[in-house]
A and B are shown apart, each in its own frame.
Chain A
Amino acid sequence: MSLDPATVRRIARLARIRVDEAQVTQMQAELNAILGWIEQLNEVNVDGVAPMAGGSQGMAQRLRVDAVTDGGMADQVLANAPDRAGAFYAVPKVVE
């Protein structure tokens, strides 16, 4: 599998990463190298192994108790906001 320049530009746009035209070729080569490296995994024989998304077989997620243990710290949450209005985050107008 290899990426063409148009796909590289599309991935960059979806990720909101600005890629100058001059950088596309270099980015394409880097991404293709990563894909090639990942593709080596195809050489591993996984016959009889159920598809896994994470952890190891037989591991399951632990659940928490439904209790309010967090929050009540608007100032800390907003501390890094570039702009705020009262206790709201303020962002450039999102027009729909």
Chain B
Amino acid sequence: MAYTIEGSSGAWEVVIGLEVHAQIISRSKLFSGAATAYGAPPNSQVSFVDAAFPGMLPVANGECIRQAVRTGLGLNAQINLVSRFDRKNYFYADLPAGYQISQYEHPIVGSGVIEIELADGSTRRIGVTRLHVEQDAGKSLHDQDPARTFVDLNRAGVALMEIVSEPDLRSPEEAGAYVRKLRSILRYLGTCDGNMEEGSLRADVNVSVRKHGEPFRTRCEVKNVNSIRFVMQAVEAEALRQIKVWEDGGTVQQETRLFDPSRGETRSMRSKEDAHDYRYFPDPDLLPLVLDEDWVAGLRAELPELPDAKRARFIAEYGLSPYDAAVLVAEQATALFYEAVARGRDAKQAANWVTGDFFAALNRLGRSIEDPPVSAAALGGLLDLIADNTINGKIAKEVFEAMLETGEPAAAIVDARGLRQVTDTGAIDAAVDAVLAANPDKVAEFRAGKDKLFGFFVGQVMKAMAGKGNPALVNDVLRGKLQ
């Protein structure tokens, strides 16, 4: 069922395109040798090129170009062997040159595609229009002083990839899934850390609305949205605003807007009418960027296994559901952890433990997959004890909790606490007999046809055995004695 918003005049479709700015991982900036590390003292990572001192000339960083091409390959996109840098002219305090070096007419990467996964298990292919390389601007701090804005140029000149999607997205959920998937691909490739809080990944959201079957109506651009949740909220808030404008008899004006998360609404930046007149022209300081076809082919051959391929392999190799596989491949570190647990073991059970108790523990303890409270080897050791019938599934959860607390291996905890499951049929017989003797009324009811009481008996026996009975044997013995 397609996503629509119900207005007073009926259902509206939402049309969304995203421009994602992703900071390229590199040691030095796109056109200067200044460092790129986040959080350095103000203006300590600024060269005369970045500060646009007269006469300073840009020289492009080969690693940034390599990263952009690898990203293009990861998006199944066309790589343009000849591209060019242009100047995008505008005035702002954190842009010292008065222009941003970007790529306008001839980007380094052409059209590609990203496959997104939705909550109902379906997938959609979203077109990528282009990817181009450009400089980031400096950072303006507006809240440090009542009369002045402070400017830090450490970020000025850091390499960005702008990744532009086709207007193929149709709901807040799809917009969120697109950013999530793009971030996952970038992180697999190691071309952007995807950290939205630090601003290394930011999205501009283009939104318009229309009636079913209509051509596109006028769109508005919501700038600098810095979390996936805000992307989804901004889409909905802006769509609702535009529907109201149209239904009140007005016309949506093309403009740039800001999303205010505290109010959950977008507002106009009240920019001047010529804010978009950037007067692009080729940067005369930079020759055309020409790539060698064999070099590109070499980069393609060295790409890591990307999320889509990994997910397909997890489904085929481990028999996982598409949903579990998607969860496990979203982060490369999670996929590695899972494979270390699953290797040589029951892969489905490993998936259940990783996505279940293990993820819950990460959340509860505020830990990350890079710094897990229980290692993959230790979790594997616990699963081995289940597999060889040393403990049952219920006791395993108890052991897992103890592993979190103590950091001890599963086998040591099982031995120290006497949690080894009872497979001695004599002990199980005795426990079953005691439970049946204590509940003659229930036994009569069961025999009269009340089948679901079986669960009650299992529970009572397990309780009597402090949870350590082998579940299969308890079932067998109970069934035998009750018949």
Instruction: Using CB atoms and an 8 Å cutoff, list the residues of chain A in contact with chain B.
Output: 10, 13-14, 16, 53-55, 59-74, 77-78, 83, 85-96
> B93, A13: Cβ atoms under 8 Å?
no
Q: Which of A10, A89, A95 contacts B43 (CB 8 A)?
A: A89
Majority-rule SS of A interface residues: loop
Give Cα A67 to B84, complex, Å.
Answer: 23
User: Within 8 Å CB of A60, what residues of B?
Assistant: 287-290
Instruction: Using CB atoms and an 8 Å cutoff, list the residues of chain B in contact with chain A.
Output: 26-28, 32-35, 41-49, 51, 59-65, 84, 89, 91-93, 140-142, 144-153, 258, 269, 274, 277, 279, 282-284, 286-290
Given contacts A64-B61, A89-B93, contact A94 B28 (CB under 8 A): no
Given contacts A69-B33, A77-B46, contact A53 B84 (CB under 8 A): yes
Give Cα A69 to B59, complex, Å.
Answer: 13
Which residue from chain A places its CB closest to the CB of B258 in the assembled complex? A96
Which residue from chain B places its CB closest to the CB of A16 in the assembled complex? B91
Chain B min CB distance to A10 (Å): 7
Given contacts A66-B63, A85-B148, A94-B142, contact A61 B279 (CB under 8 A): no
> A89, B284: Cβ atoms under 8 Å?
no
> B47, A94: Cβ atoms under 8 Å?
no
User: Within 8 Å CB of B258, what residues of A?
Assistant: 96
Chain B min CB distance to A81 (Å): 9
Q: Which of B44, B150, B153, B269 contacts A90 (CB 8 A)?
A: B150
Given contacts A63-B61, A77-B48, contact A94 B34 (CB under 8 A): no
10 other contacts beyond A59-B287, A70-B47, A90-B151, with CB at 8 A cut-off?
A53-B84, A54-B282, A54-B283, A64-B59, A66-B26, A66-B27, A87-B152, A88-B42, A88-B144, A96-B269
User: Within 8 Å CB of A65, what residues of B?
Assistant: 62-63
User: Within 8 Å CB of B152, what residues of A?
Assistant: 87-89
Chain A min CB distance to B216 (Å): 28
Given contacts A54-B284, A68-B28, A93-B148, contact A88 B43 (CB under 8 A): yes
